Structure 1
Amino acid sequence: MLYPELYKSLESARWNMDSDVPWSSFDPSLLSEEQALTVKMNAITEWSALPATEMFLRDNREDSDFSAFMSIWFYEEQKHALVLMEYLRRFRPELAPSEAELHAVRFEFDPAPPLETLMLHFCGELRLTQWYRRASEWHTEPVIKKIYDLLSRDEARHGGAYLKYMKQAIDRAGDAARAAFAKIGVLMASSARSGKPLHPTNLHVNQGLFPRDTIQSRLPDPEWLERWLSEQIQFGREQEARVIGGILRNLSSLFGQAFETAQDLNRFRKSLGAAAA
């Protein structure tokens, strides 16, 4: 089981919301209305760990080890929402999300193959690590800069935990796991061609609710994410290359192959299909 090891490692790195966030350093002159609004949107987005956890527990009923790990992941992701809301409560209370706004992002996800979902969320953690690093650089107010730094480090650790479960899946399922991971890896490493950010919160997950079946579509401002990335934190080609590079490096290590591009990974994916046939 991986859960006991992951519990110890993540517990040792856990930060305290009271003592590790420098609340007394807040400088109101360094927080614009535009910046404060993005904190609200990220707080609501982080709240969507709730329906994601419900999905994981439903679709991984046969895997008690991974389901136990969800207790850590869910706690830390909801803590992200909480610290962002606490920031607004203290310094911009009129922007704090309402309970209705938070509940709007809790809806049922359609069942999906667990291995593909695992890979999707691994890529999501790599992407959030970079998004939050960039957000910390974009903000000028010192408290929120520190908060985004803490969140980015958490997301990186979560990605490492998902990677351990991916290694375990390959040990258990072999090429079936490799094929699932390569399939999603090609999708997520080809984000430049998609015309929109590829992240679990921006993908359609409930056919019956389409088109309001993404987390972002249920925010008070559904167009916020694209604007935040392109115009505000300016997450450009250089930053996107770091995400893609992280996906390819980790899959190279996982599969014992060298992938320099998404095309290399796609050729590997096709070779698995040919071998299975």
Structure 2
Amino acid sequence: MLYPELFKQLESVRWHMDKDIPWDRFDASLLSDEQAQTIKMNAITEWAALPATEMFLRDNRDDSDFSAFMSIWFFEEQKHSLVLMEYLKRFRPDLVPTEQELHEIRFEFEPAPALETLMLHFCGEIRLNHWYRRAAEWHTEPVIKQIYTTLSQDEARHGGAYLRYMKRAIARCGDEARAAFAKIGVLMASARRTAQALHPTNLHVNKTLFPRDTIQSRLPDPEWLEHWLDKQIAFDLQWENKVVERILHNLGLLMDRSFKNVQELNRYRKELTASLAAGALREASAA
């Protein structure tokens, strides 16, 4: 089991909201209304760990190890929402999200293949790590800068934990897992070609609720994410390339081969798909 080891690892570096956040360094003159509004939106977005955890537990009922790890991930992700709300409570109480605004983003995600969902969230952690690093640079108020840096480090550790479960999946499932990871990897490493950001909070997850079946669509300002990325924290091509590089690098380690770009990963995906189809055909013929 990976859960006991991951628990010890993450417990050893867990930060304390009262002791590790320098609340006394707050400088009101360095926090603009525009910046404060983005903190509210991120606080609500982080609350999406609740429906995501419900999805993970439902779709991984046969995997008690991974489900137990969700207790760590859920706690730490909800803590992200909480520390952002604590910041607003202390310094901009008029912007603290209401319970209804938080509850609005709790809705059911449709069942999806567990391996693909695992890879999707691994990529999401990489992306969020980079978003928050950029947010820490954009903000000017020292306390919120430290909070975003702290959250970015958590997201990196979560990505590392997901990677451990991905390695385990390859050991158990072989090319089936490789194909699932490559498929989602191609999607998530191609964000520069899409009109919107590719992250679990901005993907459609329940067709019966379309178009209000993404986390972002249920925010008080559904257009906020793109504006935050493009106009505020300026998450430009240079930063996007860093995300793509990390995805390709980690997939290369998983697959024991190198991917210089998403095209090479896509060719590998096609090879895996063809191999799995040929194997299924042989099995069907033998039967």
* Residue number in structure 2 paired with 1:142: 142
Q: CA deviation at 1:160?
A: 0.1
CA distance in 1, matches of 2:181, 2:146: 33
> Alignment partner of 1:62: what SS?
coil
**Residue number in structure 1 paired with 2:284:** none
| Map of 1:272 onto structure 2 | 272
* Deviation sequence 1:10-55 (CA, Å, 0-9, x none): 0001000000000000000000000000000000000000000000
Question: How does the TM-score come out when normalised to structure 1?
Answer: 1.00
Shift of 1:113: 0.2
Instruction: State the Cα deviation string for residues 127-163 of structure 1 (Å, max 9, x = none).
Output: 0000000000000000000000000000000000000
Determine helix, strand or coil for the equivalent of 2:204.
coil
CA distance in 2, matches of 1:187, 1:114: 16
Counterpart residue identity of residue 138, structure 2: W
Alpha-carbon separation, structure 2, partners of 1:107 and 1:197: 21
- What is the percentage of aligned positions where both structures have the same residue? 73
Shift of residue 209 of structure 1? Answer: 0.3
Match of residue 19 from structure 1: 19
- Select the structure of larger CA radius of gyration: 2
Q: Considering only aligned residues, what root-mean-square deviation do their CA atoms show, in Å?
A: 0.4
Deviations 1:225-263 (A, max 9, x none): 000000000000010000000000000000011101000
Alignment partner of 1:57 is 2:57: yes
Structure 1 CA distance, aligned partners of 2:83 and 2:111? 30
Deviation per CA, 1:202-239: give whole Å up to 9, x if none: 00001100000000000000000000000000000010
Q: Equivalent residues in 2 for 1:83-232 (5 A)?
A: 83-232=83-232
Question: Is 1:244 aligned to residue 237 of structure 2?
Answer: no
Give per-residue Cα distances to partners, 1:159-205, cap 9 Å, x unaligned.
Answer: 00000000000000000000000000000011111111000000000
* CA distance in structure 2 between the aligned counterparts of 1:169 and 1:101, rounded to whole angstroms: 37
**Which ranges in structure 2 are unaligned for 5 or more consecutive residues?**
279-287
**Structure 1: tracts of 5 or more residues without a match:** none
Moved >4 Å (runs of 4+) = none
- Secondary structure (helix, strand or coil) at the match of 2:39 reads helix
2:80 maps to 80
Q: Separation in 2 of the partners of 1:149 and 1:178?
A: 32
Letter in 1 for 2:67: S
Q: Distance in 1 between matches of 2:275 and 2:211?
A: 37
**Aligned AA (1:221):** D
* Aligned mates of 1:91, 1:31 — CA distance in 2: 9
1:71-123 superposed Cα distances (whole Å, 9 cap, x missing partner) = 00000000000000000000000000000000000000000000000000000
* Alpha-carbon separation, structure 1, partners of 2:273 and 2:125: 27
Distance in structure 2 (CA, Å) of the matches to 1:85 and 1:184: 32
Q: Distance in 2 between matches of 1:183 and 1:67?
A: 23
Aligned pair count reads 277
Q: Could you report, residue by residue, the CA deviation over 1:54-77 in whole angstroms, capped at 9, with x for unpaired residues?
A: 000000000000000000000000
Counterpart secondary structure, 1:212: coil
- Counterpart CA distance in 2 for 1:195 and 1:250 is 25
Separation of aligned partners in 2, 1:273 and 1:123: 21
Q: State the one-letter code of the partner of 2:162.
A: Y
Amino acid at match of 1:262: V
Separation in 2, partners of 1:32, 1:225: 18
SS in 2 for 1:221: coil
Q: Cα distance, 1:275 vs. partner? A: 1.3
